[in-house]
Structure 1
Amino acid sequence: MYPIQKPAQSAFVPIRHLSYHVLQWGTPAPNTTPIVMVHGWMDVAASFQFIIDAFKEDHWVIAPDWRGFGLTDAPNTDNFWFPDYLADLDQLLDHFVGTRPVHLLGHSMGGHVATMYAGIRPERIRKLINLEGFGMPATRPSQAPGRLAQWMDELKALQRGEIELKPYPSLDAVAQRLMKTNPRLGADKARWLAQHWASANEQGEWHILGHAAHKVVNAQLFKTDETEAIYARITAPVLNVVASTDSMSQWWKGRYSLDEFMQRIAAVPHISHAVIEEAGHMLHHDQPEALAQLIEEFLSLPSVT
C-alpha cells in the first residue's frame, strides 16, 4: 500500500442542497492563497494525494469530490449538467474563502471546468493550472436533434438498469482495473487509490464511487465559440500542462486532436505551456514529483499586472 506523507482532513459541507465531501491538506491561514484542486470524470479528490506528498512547501489545498463522485452523493439524479459544476465550485469558494482569490487547478473534466470558471469569474482566480483539460470535440447545430433524442433514450435505459457501473469482487480487482486503464500506475498507488475510488457493499462487492448517470450523454452540444469567448476573459496567468503521451488521438480517432485544442486554448491571454515526460492522461499519478515541481515553480512566479 502506498505510504501517504501528508494526511488529508475530510469534511462535508452543504452546497446547493447536497452534502459535498471535501478534502483539505496543509494549514489554512489568512495570508495564504489556497490551491483549489478539482478532479476529472470518474475520479475523486483523493486522486491528488501523490502531488500533495511531492510538494516541497506546506500548501493549503482544498479538493472536493464533484457531485455524484466519491463521497458526494447526488440522490434522485438521472443526468448531470455541466453548469452545475461551475455553480458548485462558485459556492464552494464562497464557503471556504469568501471573496479571497485562489489558485485553481483542474485535471481532465475538472481542468475544463476550472478554465471555464476562470473566464466567468476572473476576479476570483489568482493563477490557473489546467492539467489535460481538453473539453469536448466541436459540434454542429445539425447534431442537436439527434443528441437530444440520444439523451432521452439513455435516460430510459438508465431507468431500466441498462446503464450501470459494474461491481468488482475485491479491492484487488479494483486496483487491477486502475492499472489496466493506466499501465504506468504502480500496484502500491493503485491499491491505495482503489479504497477511495470504490467501496464495498454488504455482500462484499466493490462498487465504483461514481453515479451511473454520469454515463448518460450530455443533452447540450459543446459550443467552441462560447468556450473561446469565455477563455478570452481569463485575466490570471495560466499554465497549460499536457502529458507526453497524446491521449487525444486514442480517444477521439480524428474527431478531436491535441492541435485543435491548442488552437482553441490560444484564446487565453496569459498562457504558458508545459509537457510532462513519460506520462499519460493521469499525469498526476504517473509523474507526481515532476508535476509538483512544475506547479510550485509556476505559483512562485509574479502575477500579471
Structure 2
Amino acid sequence: MTSDTQPYQPRRACRSEMLPVRGMQYHLRRWQPAQPDPELPLLVLAHGWMDVAASWQFVVDAFSQAFAQGRTIVAHDWRGFGLSRPAAPCDSYYFTDYLADLDMLLEQLSPGRAVDLVGHSMGGNVSSWYAGARPGRIRRFVNLEGFGMPDVPAERTPRRLAQWMDELRTQREGGMGLAPYAGVEAVADRLQKTNRRLPRDKALWLAHHWAAPDRADGLWRILGDASHKIVNPYIYRADEATACLRAITAPMLAVEASDDSLGQWYKGRYTLEQYHERMQLVPQCRIAVVQDAGHMLHHDQPRAVAQLIEEFLGAP
C-alpha cells in the first residue's frame, strides 16, 4: 500500500544522544529547552515492548507550552530496542536488566535528585518495580497500561525452563527472526494494522524510527532484537510484584485505555478488577481512564494522555 500522505511533522525538536550503561551504549532522545529551569525535575519516558523512544513524540508535542517551558524531557531505547544494542550478540533478555539500566541512566541524567517517571506497558511494569526498589529516586510516577501479568504457580517452573531452552535452540537455528518489509510504506501498514486508530501521517513518521533499511538487501527491519521473543526463564510471581507496589512512596497515577486490552490478552485469567486490587496496595495511587483508546493510548489520544500527565505532575 502506498499513499500521498506526508509523514507527521514534530512540533518539538529533540536531539539524539548515546550514554554508556553497563558495557553498552544507550540511546536517548532529549527534548531540551533553551533555558532549562533547575527547579523542575527531569521527566523520563519509558517505552513498551517492541517499541522505541520516538514513540513518545506525539505526547511531548501535545504538552502545553506552560508545562514544557523550561522542562527537560528524555526518552530512552531499552536495551535491544531502537539504537540501544548490546556490544555482543544476545540470545536472551532478563527483566532485572532493565531495572539496573534505568538506575544507571538516572545516576547520569539526574544525580542525587528524584525524577518524574512515565512508563508504558513493559516500561510501566519495569518502572513499577523500580519505583518500589528505589523509592527515593522517583518524585511522581505515571503508569500507562503497565498491568503486570497473572501469577504463575511455582509448579510450572520446570515447564517454563524447558520452553526457554527450546526457544534458545530455535533462535540459534534461525527460526525466530522478525519479518522484513519491502519499504517504509509497508512498515507503516504494519503499524496501522496493529493499531486501527493510528493516523497515516503518524504511522509513516513512526515507521522511520521503528524500523530501518538493511544495507545488505534494502529490506526494512524492525529495530528490535528477535531474542526479545524468547520467553523469560523466570515465572511471574505476583507476590514479588505486589511487594514492590507496596514499597512505592511516590504518588502514582495508573492510566488505562477504554478498550480493556487486559481482558483481550488474558481472557479472564487476569482481569482489570484484579489489577485494580493490586493498585490499592500502592500507598498513594489513583486510576484514570482514557476514552476511545487502545493499548497504544499515547498514540491514540496523545492530548488526553499529555493532559493527565501535566495535571498529575503539577499537582501540589
Distance 1:292 1:39 in 2: 15
Query: Is 1:142 matched with 2:155?
Result: yes
Query: Is 1:154 matched with 2:160?
Result: no
Match of 2:58 in 1: 50
Match of 2:3 in 1: none
Q: Which amino acid aligns with 1:48?
A: W
1:95 to 98, 105, 108: 108
Match of 1:211 in 2: 225
Query: Is 1:164 matched with 2:189?
Result: no
Q: CA deviation at 1:225?
A: 0.6
Match of 2:204 in 1: 191
Q: Which amino acid aligns with 2:20?
A: P
Q: CA deviation at 1:261?
A: 1.3
Match of 2:76 in 1: 64
Q: Name structure 2 gaps, 5 residues minimum.
A: 1-6
SS at match of 2:205: helix
Distance 1:278 1:162 in 2: 37
Query: Is 1:8 matched with 2:14?
Result: yes
Match of 1:293 in 2: 307
- Show the 5 A alignment for 1:99-118: 99-118=112-131
Distance 2:310 2:37 in 1: 18
Match of 1:40 in 2: 48
TM-score by length of 2: 0.94
SS at match of 1:180: helix
Q: Which amino acid aligns with 2:150?
A: P
- Identify which range, 24-33 or 230-239, moves more after superposition: 24-33
Q: CA deviation at 1:284?
A: 0.2
Match of 1:19 in 2: 25
Distance 2:243 2:200 in 1: 43
Tell me the percent identity. Answer: 52
Q: CA deviation at 1:250?
A: 1.4
CA-atom RMSD, angstroms? 0.9
CA deviations 1:36-89 (Å, max 9, x no partner) are 110000000000000000001223111110000000012320000000000000
SS at match of 2:112: coil
Distance 1:161 1:251 in 2: 27
Q: Which amino acid aligns with 1:71?
A: L
Q: Name structure 1 gaps, 5 residues minimum.
A: none
Distance 1:9 1:200 in 2: 21
Query: Is 1:228 matched with 2:242?
Result: yes
Q: CA deviation at 1:229?
A: 0.9
Aligned length: 302
Distance 2:264 2:250 in 1: 31
Q: CA deviation at 1:164?
A: 1.1
Q: CA deviation at 1:30?
A: 2.8
CA deviations 1:271-294 (Å, max 9, x no partner) are 011000000000000000111111
Q: Which amino acid aligns with 1:70?
A: G
SS at match of 2:188: helix
Q: Which amino acid aligns with 1:255?
A: R
CA deviations 1:121-155 (Å, max 9, x no partner) are 00010000000001122100100000000000000
Distance 2:264 2:11 in 1: 34
Query: Is 1:125 matched with 2:133?
Result: no
Distance 2:112 2:75 in 1: 18
Q: CA deviation at 1:31?
A: 2.1
